[in-house]
Amino acid sequence: MNGRSFKMLMDTLRRARRIDGMMPQLPPDLTNGRTRVLDTLYELGGYAKEDASRRRAVRVSDIADDMGTTCPGVTRMVCDLERDGYLHKSASPTDGREVLVELTEHGLATHRVWYEEVYEYTALLLGEAGVTEHDIEVTVRTVKRLLEVVGEADLTRWQNERLGRKAAACGSAEE
């Protein structure tokens, strides 16, 4: 890969951030972050399975880990979602410090509309436009790998060292 290709990828990813604004309007009490919490709880809690007996409460810390964010941020959203009737919180029976959450019927119904129906329709549109499962898999794999590589690289340190060397080669950064 060369720098030009990477620039095209980064420009495309920046433009892709607008996709949230193109999706249907969320209910007033939901934000993109809160819907991500609902979706993560749906996935981790086994709600996608037909057998309701396989559903389980999920720790807030597991939701935060899966989302790649902090517990305090998820905890705030969980409190808001509980207040608005989307989920139910309880203390862990094995560890009182842990908070467990489960979707309510309202939360499950909301997930069905905002993820299953909207995403299925959007997938249909993409398929009609010629986007294949393989295209999606390659895109997801590429973005995940990009996040891994850039996350592992200390680009700030690299940039500071490089700029320091350039400044030293030019005489002084102060001049």
40 and 69 fall within a common domain: yes
pTM across the whole model: 0.71
Residue whose tokens read 């999920």: 58
Examine the pLDDT at 124 and tell me if it is beyond 80: yes
146 and 97 fall within a common domain: no
Cβ distance 73 to 61 under 8 Å?
A: no
% of the chain residues with pLDDT over 70: 97
52 and 76 fall within a common domain: yes
C-alpha atoms less than 13 angstroms from C-alpha of 1 in its C-beta half-sphere:
8
The total of other beta-carbon atoms located within 10 Å of residue 42's CB is 21
CA distance 97 to 94: 9
Q: Which tens digits make up the pLDDT trace of 126-135? A: 999 999 999 9
Average pLDDT (129-156) is 91
Check which CATH number belongs to the domain holding 39 and give it.
Answer: 1.10.10.10
Question: Who wins on pLDDT, 31 or 20?
Answer: 31
- Provide the pLDDT confidence category of residue 14 given band limits of 50, 70 and 90: very high
29 and 78 fall within a common domain: yes
Query: How confident is the prediction for the chain on average, in pLDDT?
Result: 89
Q: What is the pLDDT of residue 140?
A: 93
Examine the pLDDT at 105 and tell me if it is beyond 60: yes
- Provide the pLDDT confidence category of residue 174 given band limits of 50, 70 and 90: low
The total domain count for the chain is 2
CA distance 127 to 47: 26
Question: Who wins on pLDDT, 165 or 29?
Answer: 29
116 and 59 fall within a common domain: yes
174 and 136 fall within a common domain: yes
Examine the pLDDT at 173 and tell me if it is beyond 60: no
Examine the pLDDT at 37 and tell me if it is beyond 90: yes
